[in-house]
Structure 1
Amino acid sequence: MTHLINQWQRPARVKVLQTSRSLINPLSNPTNGFDVHPNHADPDHMHALITAFELPHEPIFMQQVHGNQVIEYLEPPKAHFDVQADACFTRLPDVICAVMTADCLPVIMTDTEGSFVAAVHCGWRSLYANILSQTLEAINPQHEVLVWFGPCILQDQYEVDESFVVNYLKRHPDANNAFTEIIDHNSLASLYTMAEIQLQNLGIKQIQQSMECTYLNKQYYSWRENSTPHRMGTMAWIKPCQP
């Protein structure tokens, strides 16, 4: 069900929301499932989301292109797809950073002071292109970074071919643990492990994972299952300090 993330240990002023096919709870499924993709999102459903979770504004989504571009929000974004990027961050309160997924790995970042939030769309192409290091380089955090991995397709369901593994390991030779043994020219890949290895190499130690599989859990959309055009949203924002 769509819910605020509470299990991730971070400053209380940092809020994180993970949507699912259910708008508020498993009994509240819209007819076709709750969908954040701007091309088919229902305005009434989005209004209900904003109201139920006290969002500071409507979530606005980037044009995600499976690359390594990073955008900083210096004010609330105005329109969907205004920028082509796969990561966004802000240091401002009441500005939502959001990504869409349907099997790819959504990553949320902040630090121990809650001085920023970032949302990163990590498909294998973005991970191959070092989207996580690009994001941290753009932020230049001054305090310990905290990371949360949202729902994605898990390794047992993510089969890739041998050329995929060989190509990825040429650029990331320390990522062997992200793949199972190649059998009959195929392997199983872990987006979690790909991302975790990259972050650990950057000195990031505080990483928590949802461990929910978008392919198996019918509360989520899965592109690999049925090429769905629908998307979940993963978003974070900073609450203003109370006077």
Structure 2
Amino acid sequence: MVPIIPDWPAPAAIRAAFTTREGGVSSGPHAGLNLGRNCGDDPAAVAENRRLLAEHLSLPAAPEWLRQVHGTRVLELPNQQLEPEADGVFTTQANVVCAVQSADCLAVLFCDEDASVVAAAHAGWRGLCAGVLESTVAALPVAPERLMAWIGPAIGPEAFEVGAEVRAAFVAVDPAATSCFQPGVQPDKYYGDLFALARQRLARAGVTSVYGGGISTHADPGRFYSFRRDGVCGRMAALIWIDGAAS
């Protein structure tokens, strides 16, 4: 198991990781460390992968997994529901693990400079366009300028070809989004840069300390699942928590 540890100036009490597909016990199109229960994998394999994840990262508690729907709902943890429907979570409590899953979509992690809050957001293009990052920032009990964000691996702009309607939806919200789309090979097709779009949206929400981004899930089948590339595939996870022993 070789997770990616965010390279950002987070406080010492902040723990965060983005999993790859390396390691794990899943097979077939889910081969590796698939952490998603709703993508057709053997439930026993997913349970073992989640156990291995907790062991490898020395998680203080099981992640509170979500049923992600490409929306903008943000929940505070801990939450008593089993896999509630949401695409963002945050907590001010130590040893509570925020987590979102992805397989091309953006996963964005947040913390503040005092290690008083952490958050995770799942931002596919629909959720990103609808404002899930802004909703996450607005839900946090600290000023946006005190936050920092880390953008995990996602489908790169060389592979994220979309129709003109997707470009139009982003530009309708922010005309500056035009710069994040390049003409595709086919008429009325464009290549979209999700990393750049996320940075724009975060800046509009007041978060200018932004790190990560630029690693394409689509371009590296050995390390990452990619729904656009493979169709049936597993899911990675982005996780963040406040270490109670260090805070």
- TM-score of the pair, normalised by structure 1: 0.90
Correspondence 1:50 to 2:54: yes
Shift of 1:172: 2.4
**1:150 and 1:209 in contact (8 A); partners too:** yes
Aligned partner of 2:173 in structure 1 is 171
Give the corresponding residue for 1:203.
Answer: 206
**What CA distance in whole angstroms lies between the structure 1 residues aligned with 2:132 and 2:230?**
27
Aligned length: 236
CA shift for structure 1 position 146: 0.6
1:174 counterpart SS class? helix
The aligned residue for residue 147 of structure 2 is 145
The alignment yields a C-alpha RMSD, in angstroms, of: 2.0
Query: For the structure 1 residues 17 and 202, does the alpha-carbon distance in structure 2 shift closer, same or farther, using more than 3 Å as the test?
Result: same
Which of 176, 188, 194 lines up with 2:197 in the alignment? Answer: 194
Give distance in 2, aligned partners of 1:118 and 1:86. 11
2:240 maps to which residue? 236
- Distance in structure 2 (CA, Å) of the matches to 1:57 and 1:4: 20
Question: Which structure 1 residue ranges, 4+ long, deviate > 6 Å from structure 2?
Answer: none
Aligned to 1:71: 75
Structure-2 change in CA distance of 1:195 and 1:6 (3 Å): closer
Displacement after TM superposition at 1:30 (Å): 5.0
Aligned partners of 1:30 and 1:36: how far apart in 2? 9
* 1:62 partnered with 2:66: yes
Q: Deviations over 1:3-50 (max 9, x none)?
A: 251522210111111111113xxxx77542111112445222222221
Q: Which residue of 1 aligns with 2:99?
A: 98
Aligned equivalent of 1:37: 36
Is 2:133 the counterpart of 1:132? yes
Query: Conserved in 1, the CA contact under 8 Å of 2:161 and 2:192?
Result: yes
Change (3 A) 1:6 1:201: closer
What's the CA shift string for 1:148-190, capped at 9, x where partnerless? Answer: 0000001111111122212321122221121114662111101
- 1:210, distance to aligned residue in structure 2 (A): 4.0
- Where do 5+ consecutive residues of structure 1 fail to align? none
Structure 2 letter corresponding to 1:35: N
Cα 1:185–1:60, aligned 2, differ >3 Å: closer, same or farther?
same
Q: Is the 8 A contact 1:62 1:99 kept in 2?
A: yes
CA–CA distance in 2 between the matches of 1:193 and 1:102? 18
State the SS of the aligned residue for 2:48: helix
CA spacing shift, 1:233–1:139, aligned 2, 3 Å: same
Structure 1: distance between partners of 2:196 and 2:229:
21
Deviation, 1:242, is: 4.5
CA distance in 2, matches of 1:129, 1:108: 18
> Does the C-alpha gap of structure 1 residues 80 and 153 become closer, same or farther in structure 2, counting only changes over 3 Å?
farther
Q: Which runs of 5+ in 2 are unaligned?
A: none
Q: Which structure shows the higher helix fraction?
A: 2
